[in-house]
Chains A and B, each alone.
Chain A
């Protein structure tokens, strides 16, 4: 008999060794940004925080266990998630209307999902660089949310080590593993998974920004919760 836990009262089956996020995948949407099912969980964005037996835990790293009572889609938890999303917006420079990624951006989509209507917090307006040195790939550091998906994709799938996070606290920043620090001198090629994994518009493939017109993009028509559940369903079937 398979084990089960409960998320918002719904019985969810799971296998030993799974995290709460993995157990939930095709059944219940738990908002997330730094989590991706193909990579080692990171647990840093804190959007997937759920209450497990009354205690806050990151669903992407916390092990599922028999009889767990998980609270996920509650007013209080979603209010905190909205504020965390607002924090991600104010610490960088995110101007959705002029961003190539708009409509395909997970940060924007999570904000839609959580009904985020303003920034709430004062903007930091950090001075961040753009690295357009690479012939095919662009980094706009203004949009980086430090999820490390590019770091993990490069290490775990591409077998390279192109990206890393550096610095401490609010000075945290993405760096490129190259003597010059520039993307053009790194091992990255446009086919790398790391070049396509960014949930925001921080890492973009050049000359593709507007091939799909604004208004016809993924999250222009679908809530991220539906997209996430459908993707998990497809992966499960495969």
Chain B
């Protein structure tokens, strides 16, 4: 093992910042991170063993204990659940004789849930040893279990199990205008980089990740002041459940994204860029690496780009299963080889980012849009959209609609038009912006896609009238508790309390006081948490509690208080031990009996 690790670490030039990449390779080979590997890594990377353990235990795809030779993970996004994921999970568990969350005794296979894998338009989906599985059906489960029992290496499994389609359903400005290789970069050089920044400012482009910060302003802040180095980071940690547009953009439009990054680098004065790609999208790695290589060959990356005297390279870094790394400062921490814990701000990344240097972090789609604006000018872009939201937005539409996939809409389009376009009927509501976004009911579909009305990073999940909205609220609330980094008290404890409280109510154990307690807790977690995860973790509950109070009320018992657990069930162990089952060995749940 030491030989393997020594070679691996040498390939990464003994850089501690590459810890995630190194751990990914060890996990892939041994299906866990063995203690001896940690001890050896600590020595050769000059890190403390506890730092490495901390990183291993932080990311979902790393394990301190052996996983199966076949590590099976099934996406538990709400969209997968709506496509019948639970029955398939039960089937897998039964056929493979392994409990969910466990490793089979012979070590052949492990089975567990994982957060949304970004394949919501072709689910139920999953991962086997990091390779994406799509459109799972009972027949495919049969095939998969047979392949596992026959010990067939994943690399030799039939390709159709891993087939991914892009499902681009509607294109507009960004996805139709042609962009010959290097043309946007050439346009930037011709116009001058300062003038290119001004052009992007005139376009009104705002960040496409969801928050909507003005792109030109961010780049301006980064280029100001003295620094010996600057960095450009593309955030492709597309973890918001229901979002998958960046996967498609990187699969089909990677040149344009990299071109946008290179233009940004020229503007801010960066020589190193990173594409932080979520671990679930590792299947894109080889293709993207080849594109980067081709761009170097073409003089569009590397030294003296287009003969203009500036240099820029892009490195692809893979995540390892942590939604929080979509938060820009957590992403930077992760790139540095640390746990993905959001930093205290100020200072902001534009002045103190990667390795303490000025850094811009932008979404995949933002770089794509910046490249287009650079090539075609700001006029067309700025003429589209609304007062505060210019241009178009690329949506990932999934859930209850005829045509799930990628759609490019002009900002200002009504939700109603979007629903009609994607073939959604008998709509109950739409979750826009993912769990951290907002739920819009069928009565509000005249609202518009815009930062000033309904903002979204791209997630658009449709629910029809057969759905129980509390299923999605429960799913989302569990998601946040699972993904909280645990740094700050209100989010670490609060998201777990929210999960308990929603389970209590949905489980039929709620009483009048519980709704009040739930709402109070939501406000606390929202207002006191350290970063966007905690600040939005209560949104699924708050936005449905506001619209459907009767749904919650209906579940309550007609008493003012009920404990969160079943008293009688809690006595089961005692009954078993004492071998009693008489009437006196049972307790009634207080309430109705004692009025």
Residue ranges of A at the interface with B (Cβ–Cβ < 8 Å): 41, 43-47, 49, 56, 58, 61-63, 80, 83-84, 87-88, 90-91, 121-122, 124, 145-146, 161, 163-172, 175-177, 179
Q: 12 other contacts beyond A41-B344, A46-B529, A168-B57, with CB at 8 A cut-off?
A: A43-B530, A46-B530, A58-B344, A58-B530, A63-B346, A84-B528, A121-B493, A145-B489, A165-B54, A166-B53, A168-B485, A175-B54
| 8 nearest A-B pairs in the assembled complex, by CB-CB distance | A164-B50, A172-B486, A87-B493, A177-B50, A169-B484, A61-B344, A166-B54, A169-B486
Asked if B17 CB lies within 8 Å of chain A CBs, one says no
Query: In the complex, what residues of B have CB within 8 A of residue A84's CB?
Result: 489-490, 524, 528
Contact with A along B32-50 (1 / 0, CB 8 A): 0001000100000000111
Question: Contacts A49-B528, A163-B50, A175-B50; is A122 near B486 (CB within 8 Å)?
Answer: no
CA distance A222 to B492 in the complex (A): 31
Given known pairs A84-B489, A90-B493, A177-B49, the reply for A46 and B528 (CB within 8 Å) is: yes
Q: Is A83 within 8 A of B495, CB to CB? A: no
CA distance A41 to B347 in the complex (A): 13
Sample 22 A-B pairs with CB under 8 A, ordered by A number.
Answer: A62-B346, A80-B527, A87-B493, A87-B497, A88-B493, A91-B492, A121-B521, A122-B500, A122-B564, A145-B489, A146-B492, A165-B54, A166-B54, A166-B58, A167-B57, A169-B481, A169-B484, A169-B485, A170-B481, A170-B486, A170-B492, A176-B50
Q: Which residue in chain B gives the minimum CB-CB distance to A45?
A: B489
Contact B50 A80, beta carbon cutoff 8 Å: no
Instruction: Find out whether the CB atom of A83 lies under 8 angstroms from the CB atom of B57.
Output: no
Q: What's the Cα separation between A172 and B339 when bound, in Å?
A: 12
B487 at the interface (CB under 8 A from A): yes
Which partner residue on chain A sits nearest B49 by CB separation?
A177
Question: In the complex, which of the residues A43, A80, A88 contacts B528, with contact meaning CB atoms closer than 8 Å?
Answer: A80
> Is there an interface contact between A88 and B489, defined as CB atoms closer than 8 Å?
yes
Inter-chain CA distance A80–B488, complex, in Å, is 14
Nearest neighbor of B55 in chain A, beta-carbon distance? A166
A87, B494: Cβ atoms closer than 8 Å: yes
* Contact partners of B398 in chain A: CB under 8 A: none
Q: Is the CB of A167 within 8 A of B58?
A: yes
Bound complex: CA A124 to CA B494 (Å): 12
Q: Is the CB of A166 within 8 A of B530?
A: no
Report B333 CB to chain A, min CB distance, Å.
13
Tell me the chain B residues, 144-174 only, with Cβ under 8 Å from chain A: none
> In the assembled complex, which residues on chain A have CB atoms less than 8 Å from the CB atom of B575?
none
Cα distance A175–B497 in the bound complex, in angstroms: 24
Residue of chain A at shortest CB distance from B527: A56
Main secondary structure of the interface of B (DSSP, over half): helix
CA gap between A43 and B483 in the complex, in Å: 20
Q: Which residue of A lies closest to B523 (CB)?
A: A80
Q: How far, in angstroms, from A58 to B35 measured CA to CA in the complex? A: 37
Known A41-B344, A56-B528, A166-B58; judge A161-B48 contact (CB<8 A): yes
Complex CA distance for A63 and B35, rounded to whole angstroms:
42
* Cβ–Cβ < 8 Å partners of A83 in chain B: 524
CA distance A173 to B529 in the complex (A): 19
CA distance A62 to B484 in the complex (A): 23
Give the A-B contact count at a CB cut-off of 8 A.
110
Q: Is B51 an interface residue (CB 8 A)?
A: yes
In chain B, positions 504-520 with a C-beta closer than 8 Å to chain A are: none
Is the Cβ of A169 less than 8 Å from the Cβ of B483? yes
Using Cβ atoms and an 8 Å threshold, which residues of chain B touch A175?
50, 53-54
Question: Chain B residues with Cβ under 8 A from A80's Cβ?
Answer: 524, 527-528
Q: Please tell me if the beta carbons of B485 and A44 are within 8 angstroms of each other in the complex.
A: no
Complex Cα spacing A168 to B495, Å: 12
Instruction: Check if A177 sits within 8 Å of B48, measured CB to CB.
Output: yes
- Complex interface bits, B209-223 against A, C-beta within 8 A gives 1, otherwise 0: 000000000000000
Q: Given the complex of chains A and B, what is the CA–CA distance between A61 and B530 in angstroms?
A: 12
Contact B486 A146 (CB under 8 A): yes
Q: What residue in chain B is nearest A179 (Cβ atoms)?
A: B39
CB of A9, distance to nearest CB on chain B (Å): 22
CB distance from A52 to the nearest CB of B (A): 12
Q: Do B49 and A179 have beta carbons less than 8 Å apart?
A: yes
Q: Which of B35, B48, B346, B492 is most buried by chain A, counting CB atoms within 10 A of its CB?
A: B492
Partner of A46, one of B48, B57, B490, B497: B490
Q: Given the complex of chains A and B, what is the CA–CA distance between A43 and B49 in angstroms?
A: 25
Q: How far is the CB of A111 from chain B (nearest CB, A)?
A: 13
The reply to whether B53 and A164 form a contact with Cβ atoms under 8 Å apart is: yes
**Separation in Å of the B476 CB from the closest CB of chain A?**
15
Q: Does B441 contact A (CB under 8 A)?
A: no
Please measure, in the bound complex, the distance between the C-alpha atom of A172 and the C-alpha atom of B58, giving whole angstroms: 9
Q: Judging by beta carbons under 8 Å apart, are B492 and A169 in contact?
A: yes
- Residues of A within 8 Å of B488, CB to CB, are 43-46
Q: Which of chain B's residues 32-91 have a Cβ closer than 8 Å to chain A?
A: 35, 39, 48-51, 53-54, 57-58
Q: Is B496 an interface residue (CB 8 A)?
A: yes
B528 to chain A minimum Cβ distance, whole angstroms, is 5
* Cα(A84)–Cα(B493), bound, Å: 9
Q: How far is the CA of A58 from the CA of B322 in the complex (A)?
A: 25
A161-B48 Cα distance, complex, nearest whole Å: 7
A58–B49 Cα distance when bound, in Å, is 31
Residues from chain B with Cβ under 8 Å of A170 in the complex: 481, 484, 486, 492-493, 495-496
Bound CA–CA A168/B53 (angstroms): 12
Residue B403 interfacial (CB < 8 Å) = no
Note all chain B residues with C-beta closer than 8 A to A63.
Answer: 346
Q: Is B482 an interface residue (CB 8 A)?
A: yes
Q: How far is the CA of A26 from the CA of B358 in the complex (A)?
A: 35
Chain B residues lying within 8 Å of A61, measured Cβ to Cβ, are: 344
Q: Which residues of B sit under 8 angstroms from A145, Cβ to Cβ?
A: 489
Closest to A174 in B: B50
Bound form: Cα–Cα A69–B497 in Å: 33
A146 to B339 Cα, complex, angstroms: 15
Which of B482, B490, B528 has its CB near the most chain A CB atoms (within 10 A)? Answer: B528
Q: Please measure, in the bound complex, the distance between the C-alpha atom of A41 and the C-alpha atom of B345, giving whole angstroms.
A: 12
Do A91 and B530 contact each other (CB < 8 Å), given the known contacts A164-B48, A179-B39? no
B56 CB, nearest partner CB in chain A, Å:
8
B521 CB contacts on chain A under 8 angstroms? 121
CB distance from A178 to the nearest CB of B (A): 8
A87 to B493, CA, bound (A): 6
Q: Which of A44, A56, A122, A161 contacts B50 (CB 8 A)?
A: A161
Q: Which residue of A lies closest to B487 (CB)?
A: A44
In the complex, A175 Cα to B483 Cα: how many Å? 21
Q: Which residue of A lies closest to B322 (CB)?
A: A168
B51 contacts across to A, CB distance below 8 A: 164
Q: How far is the CB of B350 from chain A (nearest CB, A)?
A: 16
